[in-house]
Amino acid sequence: MISIYKKLYFKYKIDIYAKKTIELMMYKRDTSGAIEFLEKSGYDQKMLMNIYTSIKKFKSAYKIAQKLYKQTNNSDYLGKMTIYEYEANKNNLNHKILISISDKFEKVLKDIQNPLYLNYYGYLLIDHNLNIKKGIKLVKLALKNEPESIFYLDSLAWGYYKLDKCKRALAIMKKFIKDNDEPEVSMHYKMILKCIKEKK
């Protein structure tokens, strides 16, 4: 069926055939096949970008987001580009890359106050000691939209930890730490507990 739908799409360029091809490939968990089809056909590049993201091919996802941003001037794609740039360079970050990412986030947040981008940029400012107080402000804005988000609460607690306000950080962590299974969040919790013990 996949082979038939692929042939029909390339012959007639009717969207339903492309959709059926992708649906069947994803059902079979044939990610590489879906990528190959989307690359060759040019169909639904946003879907291709999301698939690349799901398998952590951030450089490839970045290129598509960049292309879509140039085509649409939609700041959401610039936001995605910025996240992909960070993730692609996570193990090789330097000041130049961090400034590039910060500049993009500043541009994005002038247009859209998306909680994801607010928290992502806020956490970046906090974690890399670029501007901890500003980072906390951005995270608080994200929390206004999603007050129960474990990730946003963790960012806020980490910000207070970085300001050496460990008791305040712990009070936030206690709200959600029992429901946590994220290694990075657990690491933050241990660091905050250590900070409090050292002050006793």
- Look at residue 61 in the predicted model and tell me its pLDDT: 98
Q: Which domains, and CATH codes, for the chain?
A: 113-200 (1.25.40.10)
- Look at residue 137 in the predicted model and tell me its pLDDT: 98
> What mean pLDDT is predicted for residues 155-161?
98
> What mean pLDDT is predicted for residues 96-125?
97
pLDDT tens readout for residues 4-46: 988 898 888 899 999 999 999 988 899 999 999 999 999 999 9
- Look at residue 6 in the predicted model and tell me its pLDDT: 87
**Mean confidence (pLDDT) of the chain:** 95
The whole-angstrom separation of Cα 107 and Cα 100 is 11
pLDDT tens readout for residues 43-91: 999 999 999 999 999 999 999 999 999 999 999 999 999 999 999 999 9
- Look at residue 193 in the predicted model and tell me its pLDDT: 96
The whole-angstrom separation of Cα 103 and Cα 119 is 15
